[in-house]
Amino acid sequence: MGKIPFDIEAALPLVADAVRPYPKAAMFELAERGYRTVFQQLVACVVSIRTRDEESLPLSVRLFDRAPTAAEVAVLTPEQIAALIRPATFWDRKAVQIRDIARRVADDFGGDLPCDEATLRSFSGVGVKCANLALGIACTQRGGAAAGLGGPDDAADPEPERRLIAVDVHVHRVTNRWGYVSAPTPEKTMEALAGVLPPRYDVEINALLVPFGKHICTGVRPKCSTCPVRDPCQQVGVTSHR
């Protein structure tokens, strides 16, 4: 007998329960600790690129504890920033990018980065994932499952043309294994999700599937035998599991 169609409304609360014991994704954890301006979220995402959350989270905290605002980061030298974010991957290049972001935010925006995707994407080193995460966390009231999953009745859908889906390797892998989308790359998965995911889950999908992908639907031998969504999951591409 075939699997039942994947019901995202039913699955996400189960995923939220399953990931509750695990650390939150770094940017959601930072927001919960009070580092939630658009500038801080954007810089934290730059620090996190190709760097594990366990490493990038304390590095971002160290940077913001030294210099919490764009104006304060802007007067640091790249060497001083590098010393704070090292050993993040590409720490030397990121230090220059962060200093340049801070200078522009301080000089052109009065220190207050607007909630505008085009502005965020205009910075060197900022891709669509970081822009969507920063906007989703800093610019909406629905800061993700960390604060409680927004269910169907909790919030109205945002404007449909302004999607804020941030797809990393975990969101890409899990949603494709589910059979919810079928796409070869994270970028294509983002496009596919925009066509099927209710907009109210744009932010939550990242908050939930990063820890779910790290601890349950792992890259190698996912924990299917105890997975709360194994009934609807199509297990696409899964050849061995626990």
Active site residues: 129
137 binds ligand SF4 (CB under 6 A): no
66 binds ligand SF4 (CB under 6 A): no
230 binds ligand SF4 (CB under 6 A): yes
222 binds ligand SF4 (CB under 6 A): yes
229 binds ligand SF4 (CB under 6 A): yes
* Calpha distance 102→75 (Å, rounded): 9
> What's the one-letter identity of residue 84?
L
Contacts with 196 (C-beta within 8 Å, 6 or more apart), sequence order: 8, 180, 181
Of the candidate spans 50-58, 141-149, 164-172, 228-236, the one that interacts with ligand SF4 by CB under 6 A turns out to be 228-236
Chosen residue from 105, 171, 209, 216 binding ligand SF4 by CB under 6 A: 216
Of the candidate spans 32-40, 86-94, 99-107, 219-227, the one that interacts with ligand SF4 by CB under 6 A turns out to be 219-227
- Tell the smallest beta-carbon distance from residue 2 to ligand SF4 (Å): 15
CA distances from 26 to 136, 228, 234, 240 (A): 14, 24, 29, 29
Of the candidate spans 33-41, 89-97, 125-133, 234-242, the one that interacts with ligand SF4 by CB under 6 A turns out to be 234-242
Contact status, residue 213 vs residue 220, Cβ threshold 8 Å: no
Comparison of 43 and 145: residue with beta carbon closer to ligand SF4: 145
Of the candidate spans 33-41, 130-138, 151-159, 222-230, the one that interacts with ligand SF4 by CB under 6 A turns out to be 222-230
- Tell the smallest beta-carbon distance from residue 196 to ligand SF4 (Å): 17
Chosen residue from 167, 201, 233, 239 binding ligand SF4 by CB under 6 A: 233
Q: Taking Cα atoms as reference points, which of 43, 34, 38, 35 lies closest to residue 111?
A: 38
238 binds ligand SF4 (CB under 6 A): yes
* Calpha distance 130→191 (Å, rounded): 16
Would you tell me the crossing angle of helices 169-178 and 204-215 to the nearest 10 degrees? 80
- Which of the residues 171 through 190 are near ligand SF4 (CB under 6 A)? 174, 177-178
Contacts with 118 (C-beta within 8 Å, 6 or more apart), sequence order: none
Buried b (16+ CB within 10 A) or exposed e, 38-65: bbbbbbbbbbbbebebebbbebbbebbe
Contact residues: ligand SF4, CB under 6 A: 174, 177-178, 216-217, 222-224, 227, 229-230, 233, 235, 238, 241
